[in-house]
Amino acid sequence: MKKTLMAFLLGSTLVLGACGNNDDTASEEASDANNPQEAADSALGNDIDPEKIVNQKCSSCHGGDLSGGMGPALKNIGSELSADEILSVIQNGKGAMPKNIIEGDEAEAVADWLANKK
């Protein structure tokens, strides 16, 4: 009896697992269809999301909406600084901002993203 019950439970688990719907994949595919650049980046392994990085590493000082706080406002920083100048600030720090708070490709992506804030 125990063997039959175990076989039934194992079989049920396998069947139910195989029938599951992976909504995450469907959501990602729909998102990629709406944003070709994101799809290309994802296909190349460039899953850098500069807005997410800014929210994680910069918003505590520059504000969640980039309107400033302990650090200066970045809402329109692109009208004041170029991407290279922003990257320099990220790499070298400025005032109380530590250097290299973001590094490498992420720093470049954030600098480009902020440079478009005009």
Binding residue ranges for heme c: 58, 61-62, 97
Neighbouring C-alpha atoms within 13 Å toward the C-beta of 20: 10
Q: Nearest 5°: phi and psi at 97?
A: -75, 125
The first and second tokens of residue 98, run together, are: 């530590």
Compute the Cα dihedral for 88, 97, 63, 76 and give only its sign. negative
CA gap 72, 62 in Å, rounded = 6
Annotated binding site: 58, 61-62, 97
User: Any residues with CB less than 8 A from the CB of 26 and at least 6 apart, and which?
Assistant: none
